[in-house]
Amino acid sequence: MSLLVEPNQKIRIPEKNRNARRWVSMTSAARWPRDRIHAGFENMSLPFADSEFHEAWTELDEPRVEGWELFTESMGVRIYRRLDTVTGLYEYKVFGSLDNCGPDLCANVYMDLVYRKQWDSYAKELNEKDYDGKTSIYWEVKYPFPLSNRDYVYERERRDLDVNGRKIWVVLAKSTTVSTCPEKVGVIRVKDYKQSLAIESDGSSGSKVFMNYFDNPGGMIPAWLVNWAAKNGVPSFLTDMKKACSSYQNYCESRK
């Protein structure tokens, strides 16, 4: 993906910012020194601000859940939600872990779209395409009958951070609008979507994971389905991710 930092690119956060644990507002006068963080990328238009990556990884240390409701907790996963007053929908934060799945492996599996189509049964179509001169991701998600499938066009960026010696992987994604990807008949386009993922080692052989996500699926979605997706879908997704991580090496070798 042309706008992404390559999977093995290391980004070292400047010394004076390493101990920061508060989100630096995008509108604040205090800005991260881009010349040191984006060395070699001065002429590229990256889709996400440095502060957005900072906001994601600091949740691993200090979960910001004031004003959030603890929605459910199971299988070592805590899910918080907060009502979005504009849409009437909920935004979610997820805190959990993946045993026996290291953070580098977890990030690689998460980024591999071809592999995901093998282990994610809900992914009907998922690939990178060039739209309007930039690379974005097209994703069609299967919905249970009689609901219409949803599809997304979004951009994402991964950064492998070095924070005072800690290695942290962060992936951000958000919906985008492109004129060259028309909506399909019978499929509802999700136009308001965002997701952030932060991963680091749990100190053993697994990963500590934070995820924040919101999407407005449009249409008339029954409340029971929304609740099911949040309460059961996320833990199930993490379970599937763990299984996918355990099989990834064999998958990569089979493609050589």
Structure-block tokens of residue 117: 């189509």
| CATH fold for domain 10-254 | Alpha-D-Glucose-1,6-Bisphosphate; Chain A, domain 4 (3.30.530)
- What pLDDT does 26 receive? 27
Name residues whose C-beta falls within 8 Å of residue 219's C-beta, 6 or more positions apart in sequence. Answer: 147, 148, 188
At 81, phi and psi to the nearest 5? -140, 155
- What pLDDT does 45 receive? 62
pTM of the model: 0.79
Q: Mean pLDDT per segment of 10 residues, for the chain of length 256 residues?
A: 36 40 29 33 65 97 96 88 87 92 95 95 93 89 90 96 96 92 94 96 94 89 73 80 93 90
- What are the extents of the domains in the chain? 10-254
